[in-house]
């Protein structure tokens, strides 16, 4: 459960930069670039989950199932809602927006940036390795399209900013995100 007191509007909202978006949209790469530019700690949620579990995301899906993974993901997100923590860059897994409570919490955590890319670009990037269990199917392109269809409205509703990533390098993306984030945090009540 999200602790209401920690999301109370009278409390100064956290000023993290939160990256959301589909698998292969560049969250980890852009997250690392923002971390280097700002010096804020980077929390790559999938990496934290793998470190704690002592196994890969693919192994968690295979041995424990997706539901267990989603529970771990949700608990980690709630843990990140810590008002005493320093500002951070938070890079999320592509499916975190599937849960309504997660979506609320993501927006509460700071400035939410949706990194988007065309289906073909996502397919090219994700086909380079086998670490995305949801794409271990006979027709990954169809799976990407189906998941994107379901998730698009969630990304849209959760994000403060949508960024089309294809054609831009991570330096250019980071510069744009930082400018928008500065404006957002300066004008935030
Ligand atoms: C998932 C995306 C993955 C990882 C898991 C599930 C998803 O993260 O959390 O495989 O449901 O889209 P990335 O978006 O970093 O690949």
Task: Give me the residue spans of the domains in the chain.
Answer: 15-188
Ligand 1 mean position to 86 CA, how many Å? 25
Ligand 1 atom index nearest CA of 45: 9
Distances (CA, A) of 152 to 44, 115, 167, 168, 174: 21, 11, 20, 21, 22
Q: CB–CB of 86/10 below 8 Å?
A: no
| Percentage, residues of the chain above pLDDT 90 | 88
Ligand 1 mean position to 132 CA, how many Å? 6
Does ligand 1 come within 6 angstroms of the Cβ of 95? yes
* Number of Cβ within a 10 Å radius of residue 97: 26
Residue to substitute in 73, 94, 143 for testing ligand 1 pocket (most ligand atoms within 8 angstroms of CB): 94
Residue to substitute in 22, 121, 134 for testing ligand 1 pocket (most ligand atoms within 8 angstroms of CB): 134
Ligand 1 mean position to 23 CA, how many Å? 5
Ligand 1 atom index nearest CA of 58: 10
| pLDDT per residue as tens digits for the range 108-122 | 999 999 999 999 999
**pTM recorded for the entire structure:** 0.94
pLDDT interval class at 1 (50, 70, 90): very low
Beta strand ranges found along the chain (DSSP E):
16-20, 42-44, 89-91, 110-116, 161-164
Q: Is it the case that residue 62 has pLDDT exceeding 50?
A: yes
**Angle of CA points 1, 69, 123, to nearest 5°:** 120
CB neighbour class for 116 (10 Å; exposed up to 12, middle 13-18, buried from 19): buried
Does ligand 1 come within 6 angstroms of the Cβ of 21? no
| pLDDT per residue as tens digits for the range 80-134 | 999 899 999 999 999 999 999 999 999 999 999 999 999 999 999 999 888 899 9
Does ligand 1 come within 6 angstroms of the Cβ of 31? no
Distances (CA, A) of 5 to 39, 52, 89, 185, 189: 29, 27, 23, 22, 18
Is 15-188 a domain of CATH 3.40.640.10?
A: no
Ligand 1 mean position to 67 CA, how many Å? 13
């Amino acid at each position: 459960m999200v602790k209401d007191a920690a999301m109370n509007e009278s409390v100064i909202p956290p000023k993290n930069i939160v990256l959301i978006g589909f698998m292969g949209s560049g969250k980890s790469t852009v997250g690392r670039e923002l971390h280097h530019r700002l010096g804020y700690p980077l929390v790559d949620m999938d990496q934290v989950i793998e470190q704690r579990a002592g196994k890969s995301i693919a192994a968690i899906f295979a041995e424990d199932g997706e539901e267990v993974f989603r529970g771990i993901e949700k608990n980690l997100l709630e843990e990140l809602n810590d008002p005493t923590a320093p500002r951070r860059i938070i890079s999320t897994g592509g499916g975190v927006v599937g849960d309504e409570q997660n979506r609320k919490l993501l927006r509460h955590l700071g400035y939410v940036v949706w990194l988007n890319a065309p289906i073909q670009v996502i397919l090219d990037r994700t086909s380079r390795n086998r670490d995305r269990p949801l794409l271990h199917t006979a027709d990954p392109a169809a799976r990407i399209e189906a998941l994107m269809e379901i998730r698009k409205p969630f990304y849209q509703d959760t994000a403060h900013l949508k960024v089309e990533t294809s054609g831009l390098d991570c330096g250019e993306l980071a510069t744009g995100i930082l400018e928008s984030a500065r404006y957002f945090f300066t004008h935030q009540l």
